[in-house]
């Protein structure tokens, strides 16, 4: 899509909505074709990244949406990156080196420099003026009153004239040259900002409370879909059928009609993040498996070689195998931190409790 050079560049949401409306498509049609929930599509078009899942999932949604609209998905992904950069830099206050207006670079504002340069220039002129005035005292025949201040003697006020020099009988003659000290106004000290630590701690605590709200897993995570069992068995590769163990939870997943985004933990092992490409399988075997699936409606999931029936309005799903262990855990199963680290909800709750002690 070619844009006018003088027009404002479109955001990701504006681009998607414009192309969709040109093709006279409704969000319901897009949701049905891509199996991406209508709410996610609406938030994409509104550039509302706060209401969207993690970026790794959103990337797949954008690519699928762009392919359906037949627009370059690379352009959409670049706009997505720009959207996340704008969001993460919203709190920064940095003055650019140059400002570009109408295609031409404008120099930096020198207002702050002039604030310091003008007083210094005036001070220099004042010093030169008084130096010239002091040098003219010896040549000017007009009488001038000079006051000499001493820290140990009373102040002596004397009038000097050309015809009548001053002679002191108690002290030797001394030629006194008046010294003029320029008055320098000290620069005001900027006020020191005081930080109310109690208010900051309260704000941090309120932010933590608002950040994550936990809820129990639903009682019905999935059901078995035993229609066409024999036909479904033929869709499972032989190597996976042979690897099945009766004492374990054997989970086979296939990205059937689109990419799927997985975050999972096997038993007490490390947490993995994985993108399952369309048409690919992944086989997981464990005593306890916790998994968060993105684009679940486009994914086939088998438990012990039996197809599961799973639906989700949002397109994402949290699952626990075996199902009887589900009451031990809460949604979200995993916490995605700003530094890129992923922890379990149990670990997050435990760390939060330790901070309060």
Model pTM score: 0.45
- Give strand pairing partners of 286: 249
CA atoms within 13 A on the CB side of 30: 29
Query: 171-222, pLDDT tens digit by residue?
Result: 444 444 445 555 555 566 656 555 555 555 554 554 444 568 888 888 788 8
Q: Which domains does the chain have, with CATH numbers?
A: 12-86 (1.10.260.40), 215-356 (no CATH)
Query: 89-132, pLDDT tens digit by residue?
Result: 554 444 443 333 333 444 455 555 667 677 788 888 878 776 76
Listed as own residue / partner, the contacts of 144-150 with beta carbons closer than 8 Å and 24 or more positions apart are: 146/176, 146/178, 148/176
State yes or no: pLDDT of 137 exceeds 60: no
């Amino acid at each position: 899509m070619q844009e006018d050079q003088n027009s404002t560049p479109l955001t990701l949401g504006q681009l998607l909505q414009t192309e969709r409306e040109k093709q006279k498509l409704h969000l319901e049609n897009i949701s049905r074709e891509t199996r991406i929930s209508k709410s996610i599509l609406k938030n994409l078009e509104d550039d509302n990244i706060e209401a969207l899942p993690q970026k790794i999932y959103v990337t797949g949604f954008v690519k699928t949406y762009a392919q359906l609209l037949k627009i370059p998905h690379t352009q959409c992904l670049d706009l997505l990156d720009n959207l996340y950069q704008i969001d993460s830099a919203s709190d920064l206050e940095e003055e650019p080196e140059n400002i570009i207006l109408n295609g031409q670079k404008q120099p930096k504002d020198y207002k702050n420099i002039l604030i310091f340069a003008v007083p210094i220039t005036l001070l220099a002129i004042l010093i030169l003026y008084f130096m010239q005035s002091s040098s003219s005292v010896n040549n000017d025949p007009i009488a001038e009153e000079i006051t000499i201040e001493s820290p140990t003697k009373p102040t002596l006020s004397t009038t000097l004239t050309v015809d009548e020099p001053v002679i002191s009988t108690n002290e030797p003659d001394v030629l006194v040259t008046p010294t003029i000290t320029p008055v320098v106004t000290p620069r005001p000290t900027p006020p020191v900002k005081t930080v109310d630590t109690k208010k900051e701690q309260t704000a941090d605590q309120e932010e933590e409370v608002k950040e994550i709200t936990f809820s129990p897993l639903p009682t019905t995570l999935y059901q078995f879909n035993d229609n066409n069992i024999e036909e479904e068995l033929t869709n499972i590769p032989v190597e996976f059928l042979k690897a099945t163990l009766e004492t374990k939870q054997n989970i086979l997943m296939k990205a059937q009609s689109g990419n799927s985004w997985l975050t999972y933990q096997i038993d007490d092992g490390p947490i993995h993040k994985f993108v399952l490409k369309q048409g690919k399988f992944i086989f997981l075997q464990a005593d306890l498996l916790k998994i968060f699936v993105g684009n679940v409606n486009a994914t086939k999931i088998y438990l012990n070689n039996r197809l599961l029936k799973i639906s989700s309005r949002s397109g994402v799903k949290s699952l626990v195998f075996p199902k009887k262990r589900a009451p031990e855990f809460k949604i979200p199963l995993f916490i995605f931190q700003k530094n890129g680290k992923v922890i379990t909800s149990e670990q997050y709750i435990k760390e939060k409790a330790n901070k309060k002690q």
